[in-house]
Amino acid sequence: MTDPHEYADRKWQEALRRHWLASPDSGFVDRLRELADAAEQQQAVFTQAERRGARWESIPNASQIEPPYELRPGTGRRGPAELWSSFDAAIARLGAALEGVSLAAIARAFGEIDSAARALSTAVAAEDAAAARGRTRRAG
């Protein structure tokens, strides 16, 4: 049986990898949802680890790690700016938490990423649907 932490970490790494390797806009909403799901799994694992009294060994300079290009500020990200601000803040909190020793703080940061990425996926999907309706009306 796979260790829950290893499984959640693998899902998180795979979700990030899909963003790194993505073609512009192709499947963006799905990648955001996948990232949210992976963050949700990470949150659950770190919450369980904290309840069990596990210890975390801090990762030096984790706050300097940048997300994949399509998730960075200034790259033409689609979706509401306020949701991206929440996402950026959650990513920053995760980096800071990974430099610390609190499993609860890491779990909270992953939960914030989950919420922000999920809200973004919903908003971008709605924008895409509205744009598609507009194209259909112009074509018709």
Spell out the per-residue pLDDT of the chain, length 140, in tens: 578 889 999 999 998 888 887 776 778 999 999 999 999 999 999 999 999 999 999 999 999 989 999 999 998 888 999 999 999 999 999 999 999 999 999 999 999 999 999 999 999 999 988 887 876 665 55
Query: The whole model's pTM is what?
Result: 0.86
Number of domains comprising the chain: 1
- Cβ pair 100, 58 in contact under 8 A: yes
Range of the domain at 64: 4-139
